Chains A and B, each alone.
Chain A
């Protein structure tokens, strides 16, 4: 995987807030940033899952 800059939750908030149309009050930022850091940890775990590229999701999931 190519080198990428370290994940910066504050930069993501600044970039995404206008796109998703959510006004992020300065008082919300520490909590949102902490949760984004947790999401990044979870996303990295999912990213590393050993799936074949032809795996497909269930259209309607049935256990």
Chain B
């Protein structure tokens, strides 16, 4: 079977590599050549690990030649947001300050697991500084452009992860999502993105942002690729105190089971009041395909979002305090000013924000007694222009940087698993995403719904 290694999904690449119809080396070469040709203009990679990619690809080919099983992701090329440790590479986390740190001594846990599954690492990807960003614009490394219209934002903070996957410069990318940083670039770049349950995937060996809220997960051009990589990365890890010790819940085997019997509803109230008509139309398309006729509401969503905002500002400030004291001039000025403000916020209300989180979780779980899947916009609008500072939502002018995550932030505050699915409207060049939200630990349900949407043609992704 002959495949186009740039456009093929992970399962097709792995099948071709296992059957020796294409070598992992050829897949890696094709991607390295594409990165060399395109990335100067798009700005996805900050470091291309060429030697490592070729070494890993050759090891996969050698395993196949020796008759050994090379793993479910054999030869699948991937990139990681540059807050993941890569052995021998300095973990930038989008900053100038970290450039003077020594190279990472070992891979992050998830990179180790991707490698064990046969995947081939292409390099480290651009991101908003210290992940405090929704635009994909980096003050030091430049912006990650949207491959579907390079004058537009990729979204952030996993901007390079969005750009690389949408441009065919990786089959799968890994990102982090504290308040929306996987789901926002997935929406703007037309990708499928999985933010698992809080505590599901180990964060060990990654540069933190907000310990209480940080999640990791994959972005890809199909639901199947999300499921394959997510399954490869699951598992307990004592090195991350928030990582669950519960067993594995593989999602790939049941992906095509469909959604018969699942109760699907649309989130109303807060999630509809601030969205543009194109965001609402995308949600309604998905709702119609999944047979969702009911609208439900969560209580106090604006307060929940505010609590996530406060926890983020203050915990991030606490983490960065030494850098704010010693090297304030070396930050992205926008990030620095947010962090300094966070260092001065009232602790009494941060304490209440944590209480509100637990209360809000209980309220959300009451809603899940009656539904299995909830739908909401991923971003309030399609990709803004590069450099755009404000946007108008519901008649109010708002800063882009803080508000692209308006709809993602309350959902990750609870820690719910979400698949962002891309919707394309006839006549429009740019996609927009919808959040498919499931109860805690039920990534399988969100992935099954996303797979159903993809198979039914309501959602799709493509190489730009």
Contacts and interface: CB of A to CB of B under 8 A. Distances in A.
Interface string A23-63: 11100100111111011011101111111000111101111
B354 A57 contact: yes
B337 A31 contact: yes
Contacts of A16: 343-344
Contacts of A49: 300, 303, 307, 352, 356, 359
A51 B325 CA distance: 36
Interface string A1-40: 0000000000011001100111111001001111110110
Contacts of B242: 60-61
Nearest to A12: B344
A20 B321 contact: yes
A50 B92 CA distance: 41
* Chain A interface mostly: helix
B395 to A, nearest CB: 18
Contacts of B416: 63
B340 A24 contact: yes
B345 A39 contact: yes
A47 B337 contact: no
B328 A63 contact: no
A25 B343 contact: no
Nearest to A13: B344
B341 A22 contact: no
A49 B338 CA distance: 24
A51 B359 contact: yes
B364 to A, nearest CB: 9
Contacts of B344: 12-13, 16-17, 20, 32, 36
Interface residues of B, number: 49
A31 B307 CA distance: 21
Q: Which of A16, A48, A55, A63 has most chain B Cβ within 10 Å?
A: A63
B68 interface: no
Contacts of B329: 25
Nearest to B338: A35
Contacts, number: 129
Contacts of A31: 333-334, 336-338
B415 A32 contact: no
A45 to B, nearest CB: 4
B328 A23 contact: yes
Interface string B317-353: 0000100110011000110111011111110010111
Nearest to A55: B355
Contact of A48 (B244, B303, B334, B353): B303
* Chain B interface mostly: helix
Contacts of B358: 55-58, 61
A35 B357 contact: no
B198 A39 contact: no
Contacts of A62: 198-199, 244, 415, 440
B310 A43 contact: yes
Contacts of A32: 337, 340-341, 344
Contact of B337 (A35, A45, A56): A35
B49 interface: no
A48 B356 CA distance: 11
A63 B357 CA distance: 10
B198 A61 contact: yes
B352 A46 contact: yes
B355 A45 contact: no
B460 interface: no
A55 B359 contact: yes
A26 B359 CA distance: 40
B262 interface: no
Q: Which of B307, B344, B346, B361 has most chain A Cβ within 10 Å?
A: B344
B328 A28 contact: yes
Interface string B354-373: 11111101000000000000
A61 B415 contact: yes
20 contacts: A12-B344, A16-B344, A28-B328, A28-B337, A28-B340, A32-B337, A41-B306, A43-B345, A43-B349, A46-B303, A46-B307, A47-B349, A51-B352, A58-B354, A60-B242, A61-B354, A61-B357, A63-B416, A63-B440, A63-B441
Given A31-B338, A46-B353, A61-B212, 8 more contacts: A16-B344, A20-B321, A22-B328, A31-B333, A36-B345, A39-B345, A60-B242, A63-B415
Interface of B: 197-199, 212, 241-242, 244, 300, 302-303, 306-307, 309-310, 313, 321, 324-325, 328-329, 333-334, 336-338, 340-346, 349, 351-359, 361, 402, 414-416, 440-441
Complex A-B, nearest 7 residue pairs according to Cβ-Cβ distance, in ascending order: A31-B337, A63-B415, A35-B341, A57-B354, A45-B306, A63-B440, A42-B306
